Structure formats: C-alpha cells, structure tokens
Amino acid sequence: MDLVRGSGLIPVKKRPRILHGSSSFCRYEVKFKGIVLFLVERKMGTSRRNFLMELARKRGFQIESELRDCVTHIVAENNSGAEVVKWLQSKQLDNVIKCQIVDISWFTECMAAGCPVQIENRHQLTVQEDCPASFNTPVSSSCVRVSPYACQRRTPLQDINRIFTIAFDILAENYEFLENTGPRKAYQRASAVLKSLSFPIVTMKDVEGLPHLGQQMKYIIEEILEDGKCSIVEEIISAERYKSFKIFTSIFGVGLKTAEKWYRMGYRTLEDIRSNKSLTFTSMQKHGLLYYEDIAGYVTKTEADAAERLIRTIIWGFVSDAIVTVTGGFRRGKHIGHDVDILITCPCKEDEKQILHKTIKVLKNRSLLLFHDLVESTFDDTKRPSRCVDSLDHFQKCFLILRLQKEEETKNAKESYAHRRWKAIRVDLVVTPYEQYAFALLGWTGSQQFERDLRRYASHEKKMMLDNHALYDKSKKMFLKAKTEEDIFKHLGLEYLEPWERNA
C-alpha cells in the first residue's frame, strides 16, 4: 500500500465540465480533474460525513459516497493507518491499493484553501505493525477514567500539561481563523481533556484511552514529548495570516469577517489599519483602535475588583437590593482576563428595566464612560432553550469601555498608560430577570468549553435543554426552576463543581 506518495495535485486551469455522477447531485462542477475523494464513515459519523461531502462538492471536488475503483484519496478521521487498511482489506477492491490514505487535516486544509493542497508528512496516516489503542478504546483499570464531558471533570486553573494544551489551543485558534468549526472544536475538546488531568503526561501510555484524543492529536503529543515542541504549531505562529488575524481580532469590535476582509485587502499590521484613510470603521472599532494599547493588554484582578466596586456602588445608589456579581474568568479564579463580566439582577421588575440605563447615565455624568453599546433584551419566554450549544443569550446587556481611575499601587506601573491617571478597560454588564439569575450565573461563569459540554450533556444524556435562561425537561415537557447553580447541577444529576473547577 503506497501511503507516502507525492500528491501531484495540480488544479486544472481550464475547467473541464465534468459533473458529479451517480452518487452525487448534479449541482456542482468538478474543478479538480483526476482527484476523487472518499471519506471513511467510521469514527466520523454519518451527519458529519454528509456535511463534509457537500462542502467538498461545493468547493469543486469530486467525492464518492461509495468506495469505488475511481477513488484516488481516502480520507479518515480519528483512525490510525492500520485501522483504515484493515477496513479496506475487507472491501476487496482492486484499485484501492493505489489510493492515498490521508488524515482529515489534509481534507480540511484543502477545503480552507479551496483547492487540493500538497500532501505533507503530517497528513499521512502511517501504518504501524503494532497499532496503539485508538482514542475511544475503553480505559484499562490502571488508567484514570476521564469523562468525555467537561461538566463531569474537575478542571482547576493550574494546568500541569500546559506544554500540550497551549499547542492544541493554538491549533484550535488557527482553525477558528480559517472558520473551520469541526477541527476547532475537536482541538478545544482535546485541550480541555488534558487540562483536567491531575498528572503530567510523560509517555504516550499516559494518554491511552483518554476521550477526544484522535490520532492526529496523539502525533502532536508524541512530537512534543520527543522534541519539546510541535512543528505544525511553530509553522502556524510564524505564518503571516495567523499573525495578522491575532492582531486584527484583538481590536474591540473586529470579528473574523472583518479580519478576513482586511487580510484579503492586503493589510497585515495594526499600523496598516490605523494609517489607512480609506477604511471605514464602526463606532466600536474606532474606540477599539483608540484605546487599543490598554484593551489588548490584560485586566488584572485588582482592576476587576475596582470595576465591580464602582458599578455596585452606583447601582446600590438607586436599587439597594440589587445583586452585582463578577462572573467569567475572574469568578473561576483567574488573576487576569481580557474583560470584566458583571451580572446584575434585582427582585423588582420595574427596577430591573431601569437599572442599566441609570447606570450608564451615572457613568457618563462622572466622565467614566469612554464607549458603550447597549443591547435591549430579546428574550421571549414562550420559547424553549436553544438547541445550539454555542447560542448567545437574549439578556439586556451593555458592552463598554470604562475609564478606570488608577489605584495607588498601580500608579507606578511601567505599562503604556503609566503617564495617565486612568486606564481603559473592557466591561460587559448583563442584566438578568431575578428568576433566571442562577442560569445566567452558570452560563456567564464559563469556561466556554465547560458551558458547551454542560449543554451537550443535558441534551445527549438527560433529554433536557439548557441555556442561559432556563432548563427544559423534554420527557416531562416542563421547565425546571432553579434558585442556585447547585439546583441546576442537581436537576442534571451532576455532582456540583465550584466555579474554580470549571476551567475547561
């Protein structure tokens, strides 16, 4: 079996009008002659496979749903080379022996590039005689049993496998910049599993049987164990696209779409953006650029505490029984963050409606507001919680840049704002109805991966739907009430995890 051939994949300039045959809908033109893909369903799943097949067709690739003799590239996910070979041997097809067997990473890079990319060593699935256990092999009794859900694992802030999780986080971020959701989530899940381990990974035996660790991830761990670094990650962090996207997306108000647009226009640095007279910016982006040096740095715990005190004092001035809580990373015990997330509620509905507008007015009057964008609530209590694990909530909220007066101890700091008596910091204020407070607190405490797994757990394991507003039991066809986060864990049949154990 020839697994290590050069690809010879040259896009055909003059597009032949070959339309997809029997196994596909005749909707998309085949752009790349001589390349016929096949996706192995094993460990990929039917729906993901169908989605990827449709994507490939849209990009102009010929892709077969059945394994035929015309197939030139067999793409597998989370399978070792040996596993694919064994499966292929059972198919007894003559030509398959000449196929390239590649990892899903090659496929996703082709989709991102919009054309076939050269097959590199890292894309190849090698065949080893003694194939290591695959990622979902049951854990042996000597191994630690690790749940596939972050809400069933304790993940403290301290991450003793940082050397691996940093690599996975960079890979996930790079896939995010490529708007490639599947592999982004896969690397985030894998990183979260490693963050929960209470022992350092020192040999490949340590990762045997861990959930969400596919073959590709194991190769990366192996490389780091051998060389102390990962060559793909090294390539990514020095790549122009990654570096520019890092800068652009660190500007408040700039998302992936804008970063992509600027990159395509040929801009690469912050200076390129700032000095450009022809670009138009939203008000949020203008302020993001104006206070970039302050905002792109970190908010410290001391600054977060000062912001919380300021907001709480203002709010207590007109609603004395309001609850004002810092959530997000700081509630999980982090010492630094990119913003301060503050959740606000009060028992009286009338007060609740006024609270944010009044707070903004006071901040304005005291010249403490550098920017704000207030979004009114879009909550509709006739709707069930969202099915999407990444859906945003509908609370009334305000994204602001606060002019935070420096405290004595930070006045002598060497930061860029050292010459000023204040620092611009990003604050999110979120107002929740009193009866939804526990759900909002749980949702806004994070981490993002923890929330995603909590919702996935609710829906896959309990037939319930959870979001930042409510919990719905589909079997009982009713909403389950909760006054505290503990109540929600109880409804889900989960052991309670403290906020600082949710750093997945």
Candidates 81, 328, 385, 443: give the one binding Mg ion (CB under 5 A).
Answer: 328
Contacts with ligand DCT by CB under 6 A lie at: 328-329, 334, 337-339, 341, 390, 443-444, 446-448, 451
Question: Residue 30 and residue 15: Cα distance in Å, rounded?
Answer: 8
Helix ranges (H only) for 266-418 are 270-274, 283-290, 292-295, 301-318, 328-331, 349-365
Active site residue 390: no
Candidates 83, 294, 303, 339: give the one binding Mg ion (CB under 5 A).
Answer: 339
Of residues 126 and 448, the one with the C-beta less far from ligand DCT? 448
CB of 90 within 8 A of CB of 138?
A: no
Name the minimum Å distance from CB 206 to ligand DCT.
Answer: 28
Nearest to 105 by CA among 175, 55, 40: 175
Q: Which long-range contacts (CB under 8 A, 24 or more apart) does 93-98 make?
A: 93/67, 93/68, 93/69, 94/69, 95/69, 95/70, 95/71, 96/67, 96/69, 96/71, 97/1, 97/2, 98/2, 98/72
Question: Residue 57 and residue 111: Cα distance in Å, rounded?
Answer: 10
Structure tokens at 115: 């054309």
Nearest to 431 by CA among 478, 377, 386: 377
**Contacts (Cβ under 8 Å, ≥6 apart) of 250:** 292, 296
The active-site residue out of 206, 272, 305, 428 is: 428
The interface with Mg ion within residues 29-48 (CB under 5 A) comprises none
Residue 178's SS3 state is coil
Of residues 100 and 447, the one with the C-beta less far from ligand DCT? 447
Name the minimum Å distance from CB 502 to ligand DCT.
Answer: 9
Name the minimum Å distance from CB 337 to ligand DCT.
Answer: 3
Cβ atoms < 10 Å from Cβ of 455: 24
- Segment contacting Mg ion by CB under 5 A, of 3-11, 102-110, 325-333, 416-424: 325-333
Of residues 186 and 427, the one with the C-beta less far from ligand DCT? 427
- For residue 451, the partner it binds in ligand DCT, Mg ion, none, with Cβ less than 5 to 8 A by kind, is ligand DCT
Give the angle subtended at the CA of 238 by the CAs of 234 and 239, to the nearest 5°: 115
Name the minimum Å distance from CB 391 to ligand DCT.
Answer: 8
Of residues 37 and 430, the one with the C-beta less far from ligand DCT? 430
The active-site residue out of 103, 169, 294, 341 is: 341
- For residue 173, the partner it binds in ligand DCT, Mg ion, none, with Cβ less than 5 to 8 A by kind, is none
Q: Pairing state of beta strands 36-39 and 62-64?
A: parallel
**Contacts (Cβ under 8 Å, ≥6 apart) of 286:** none
Task: Kindly state the helix (H) or strand (E) to which residue 326 belongs, with its residue range.
Answer: strand 323-326
- For residue 446, the partner it binds in ligand DCT, Mg ion, none, with Cβ less than 5 to 8 A by kind, is ligand DCT
Active site residue 103: no
Q: Does 341 bind Mg ion (CB under 5 A)?
A: yes
Name the minimum Å distance from CB 430 to ligand DCT.
Answer: 9
Structure tokens at 256: 């992936």
Q: State the DSSP code for 493.
A: T
CB of 187 within 8 A of CB of 217?
A: yes
Of residues 216 and 447, the one with the C-beta less far from ligand DCT? 447
Active site residue 473: no
Question: Residue 400 and residue 363: Cα distance in Å, rounded?
Answer: 11
- Segment contacting Mg ion by CB under 5 A, of 110-118, 293-301, 337-345, 401-409: 337-345
Name the minimum Å distance from CB 468 to ligand DCT.
Answer: 7
Name the minimum Å distance from CB 59 to ligand DCT.
Answer: 27
Residue nearest to Mg ion (CB): 328
The active-site residue out of 103, 339, 351, 467 is: 339
Of residues 134 and 445, the one with the C-beta less far from Mg ion? 445
Residues that bind Mg ion (CB under 5 A): 328-329, 337, 339, 341
- Tell me which residues are annotated as active site: 339, 341, 428
